[in-house]
Amino acid sequence: MAWQWFHRLGSPKWFYEKTTAWLPWLGFISITLILLGSIWGLAFGPAEAKQGNSARIIYIHVPAAVLAMAGYYVMAISGAIGLIWRMKLSFMVMKAAAPIGAVLTFLALFTGAVWGKPTWGAWWVWDGRITSMVVLFLLYLGIVALQEAYQNQDTADKISSVLALVGMVNIPIIYKSVDWWYTLHQPATLKLTEKSSIDPSMGYPLLLMILAFYIFYAWVLLLRTRVEILKREQKTNWVQEIVAKG
């Protein structure tokens, strides 16, 4: 049953039809949570003891960074599934995920620079965490560029998947960089295996924003994947029927 469901999920037509009803809910929930989390953290959350109000940028910076890394796994695993099981939908998801990840990584780098100026006295330093995030940004851009560089979509998908899989080594480097090297970037304040160092009055809205970003990511990924499906399947009868109705 699970194997049958797995292969059914690989059908672009089935995926497109099933996700149609999800989009309004995902959009509504994600935007609502982002608004609630932003108001909670930016307007009602306390100022950080040492960094003051500049630390409020964590409600954007941290979720963007978390999703930039998580989104890379989504992209790479999708590419791997496409290579192993020849599921064309997986390649579509991989392609759709690349520009989303690039935007999130850029947002994390930009907000980090804004945060760094009052905290470190500089917009940019070649810190271990920041440098590895730049590598992540370049990997995302590399996938986007490869998708546009080849006229043959099958070739573009395979080469992009290989690059995505090779680039996965950078994710644990990003995560552990603050532990492995001397770095200005502070260690993680939210931890799963031990007590978090962030006060609950700041931690709860931050967790809400991370959840909101996850749902927002899923929403945008579905939208972009559906567009890619229509583009690649435009010659099929079921897509032509949708176009005719639209």
Read off the pLDDT of residues 63-87 as tens digits, 9 standing for 90 and up.
999 999 999 999 999 999 999 999 9
Tell me what pLDDT residue 7 has. 63
| pTM of the predicted model as reported, rounded to 2 decimal places | 0.93
Nearest 5°: the CA angle 75, 81, 87 is 110
What was the pLDDT predicted at 236? 93
CA distance 188 to 213: 18
User: Which residue ranges in the chain fall short of pLDDT 70?
Assistant: 1-9, 49, 52, 178-197, 246
CA distance 64 to 161: 23
DSSP string spanning 52-69? Answer: BGGGGGHHHHHHHHHHHH
Q: What is the pLDDT of residue 186?
A: 63
Q: What pLDDT is recorded for position 48?
A: 75
pLDDT in tens, 1-26: 555 656 666 789 999 999 999 999 99
Which residue is associated with the tokens 């899989």?
165
Could you tell me the residue ranges of all domains in the chain?
61-187+194-245
Q: Can you say whether residue 224 is alpha, beta or left, with left for phi > 0 and alpha for psi between -120 and 50 degrees?
A: alpha
Question: In this predicted structure, what is the pLDDT of residue 191?
Answer: 59
Strand partners, 52: 48
Report the pLDDT value the prediction gives residue 1, as an integer from 0 to 100. 56
What confidence score (pLDDT) does residue 163 get?
Answer: 98
